[in-house]
Structure 1
Amino acid sequence: MSALGFALMSACVKLASARGVPVLEIVAARALVSVLLSYLDIRRKGIAPLGHNKPLLLARGATGALALICVYYAVTTLPLAEATLLQYLHPVFTALLAFHFLGERIHRFTLICIALSLTGLATMMVPVWSSTDTPLPLLSLTAGLAGAGGSAIAYILVKTLSKTEDSSVIILYFPMLALPLSLLLLGDDLVIPEPETLGLLLLVGVFTQVGQVGLTKALQGEVANRVVAYSYVQVLFSLALGWLVFAELPSLWTLAGGGLILSGALFNLLARRG
């Protein structure tokens, strides 16, 4: 559910950007919808909206907000499949952080998954140094990697907070910080969207909420390494949406790199079941 929600969110982000909406305005719209939905859910549950561990909740919100800006920049400046593949290197970072901070053992099959993912990234980036293919923008690639690293930190914080905080409270802090940060950075670049574009911005927030709820619930009930491995399904959704909605045909390098990354995730899951 989380993977499908985030894939649909990324497609709506790209569509809104194509209509001239700045990236930071998309972030702000997503955050506004998410704040409202999270607050209504907290009121429904009858719990305290600000939680117990406020410093850690604030850290999770700030890290997620900065990572989100990087991810959205990559999504709006790269083909959808490439942007998604870069973002979904976060299990590499998550596994290492979970080992260091949560004491989660990194099994042999997780190390193989990491090795295949890094090889896939290197394969995908071959056009950057090749004169025979159109290279991907280096700044966009850097933003995608920064988003993946920031997401991993946010996931570790979510996993830690899930022991004491309700999922709706954890989700609330993310848009609560992302909204003022994005508006501050946006400045005078605000664009008044047309009705159709406004609908896309609303869908960005709704699909984000679906993805966040699914991810937070999953992290509450399973170790971080296994949860993020399942999230690789988003790559398949994004490849399909990129083809169906944007007529984007991935390059051979992207297909080869994506195949290696997905093979690593599949090996990780099958090895765990065994």
Structure 2
Amino acid sequence: MKIMTKRSLSDRQKGMICIILSAFCFAWMNAFVRLSGDLPFIQKSFFRNLVALLFALAMLLREHGCFLPKKGSLPFLVLRATAGTLGILCNFYAIDHLALSDASILNKMSPFFAILCSWIFLREKLNWKQGLIVLGAFVGALCVIKPTFANADLFPSLIGLLGGFGAGVAYTMVRRLGQIGENKAYIVFFFSAFSCVVTLPYLLFCYEPMTWKQLLCLVMAGLSAAGGQFGVTSAYCYAPAKEISVYDYTQIIFAAGLGFLLFAQIPDWLSILGYCIIIAMAVVMFFYNKESDK
């Protein structure tokens, strides 16, 4: 019995695994969104959230879960859904109006906003060593993405940054809901339903016809998003942002692999350097946390 206890995963390790799986799913989501072609960003976001809603609904029915929030969790659910919807819409808008590298780096500000919001709202401590490690991962992301803000329009750039902020606030609320003990499937269900309701009026009046291939790509994007949502929800329920957010940058590595397989994109030497930095920071964070536990 003691041996089994020693071998069991800690909450931090579970959070790390969940966020890496989430990054893998979100990399596929971005690939399918790109494959879906030229469609309105709100229409893309609606189908993304609709599939995630059905997936979460199936999970709740399977678990015989309650469709009412736990006591005290409703304000955080509303904040999570509002910020998450804002993050998705702004991110999709930025992708449609900016170079993909610019939109990506702006969205990758979300872990930093999550750490800042966790420090402000949840009173989770952040020391200078952890801050430097996360900063190092951010430098690696810059090497991979190579943003060119000088060529970007001001308004779309601000919208993209707002999307990163929305995602960061949403992840902070997920962490708080995990502390309350809210059902993970219900968190995803509430967010997906909220997002669908918000975007439905646009779809009713401005729907653009799609081919079956575009529809299939959006359905697959929704399924990937559902996997990513469950992954990131579980991750931030298990552990605080400062300990696991660095692993979210593995999405860049997954995206590079998918880019090569699907779009014949080959990374340059600066991108490879970024991969090495990100992996190194993840290893440093792992050993730092392990030493802190001792």
Shorter-chain TM-score tier: 0.7 to 0.9
Task: After TM superposition, give the deviation of residue 108 of structure 1 in Å.
Answer: 2.4
Counterparts in 2 of 1:204 and 1:75: CA distance versus 1, 3 Å? same
TM-score w.r.t. the length of structure 1 is 0.84
Question: Counterpart of 1:227 in structure 2: which amino acid?
Answer: I
Matches within 5 A, 1:67-216: 67-78=87-98, 80=100, 83-116=103-136, 127-129=148-150, 135-162=151-178, 163-186=180-203, 188-216=205-233
Counterparts in 2 of 1:118 and 1:214: CA distance versus 1, 3 Å? closer
For 1:224, the equivalent position in structure 2 comes to 241
Question: Counterpart of 2:94 in structure 1: which amino acid?
Answer: A
Aligned residues: 267
Task: After TM superposition, give the deviation of residue 268 of structure 1 in Å.
Answer: 3.0
Unaligned 5+ runs, structure 2: 1-20
Shifted more, 241-250 versus 33-42: the winner is: 241-250
Task: After TM superposition, give the deviation of residue 263 of structure 1 in Å.
Answer: 5.2
Task: After TM superposition, give the deviation of residue 151 of structure 1 in Å.
Answer: 0.9
Matched, 1:63 2:78: no
Task: After TM superposition, give the deviation of residue 81 of structure 1 in Å.
Answer: 5.3
Unaligned 5+ runs, structure 1: 130-134
For 1:137 and 1:265, locate their aligned partners in 2 and report how far apart those are by CA, in whole Å: 33
For 2:258, the equivalent position in structure 1 comes to 241
Counterparts in 2 of 1:203 and 1:122: CA distance versus 1, 3 Å? closer
For 1:21, the equivalent position in structure 2 comes to 39
For 2:30, the equivalent position in structure 1 comes to 10
Counterparts in 2 of 1:128 and 1:158: CA distance versus 1, 3 Å? closer
For 1:199 and 1:248, locate their aligned partners in 2 and report how far apart those are by CA, in whole Å: 23
* Equivalent pair of 2:137/2:249 in contact (CA under 8 Å): no
Q: Tell me the alpha carbon deviations over residues 5-26 of structure 1, each in whole angstroms, 9 at most, x when there is no partner.
A: 111001111111x2x2211111
Identity %: 26
Is the partner of 2:209 in helix, strand or coil?
A: coil
Is the partner of 2:206 in helix, strand or coil?
A: coil
* Equivalent pair of 2:26/2:225 in contact (CA under 8 Å): yes
* Equivalent pair of 1:30/1:204 in contact (CA under 8 Å): yes
For 1:120 and 1:155, locate their aligned partners in 2 and report how far apart those are by CA, in whole Å: 22
Is the partner of 2:181 in helix, strand or coil?
A: coil
* Equivalent pair of 1:3/1:233 in contact (CA under 8 Å): yes
Q: CA RMSD in A?
A: 2.8
Task: After TM superposition, give the deviation of residue 212 of structure 1 in Å.
Answer: 1.0
For 1:195 and 1:32, locate their aligned partners in 2 and report how far apart those are by CA, in whole Å: 17
Q: Tell me the alpha carbon deviations over residues 154-180 of structure 1, each in whole angstroms, 9 at most, x when there is no partner.
A: 011011111221001111111111112
For 2:223 and 2:119, locate their aligned partners in 1 and report how far apart those are by CA, in whole Å: 33
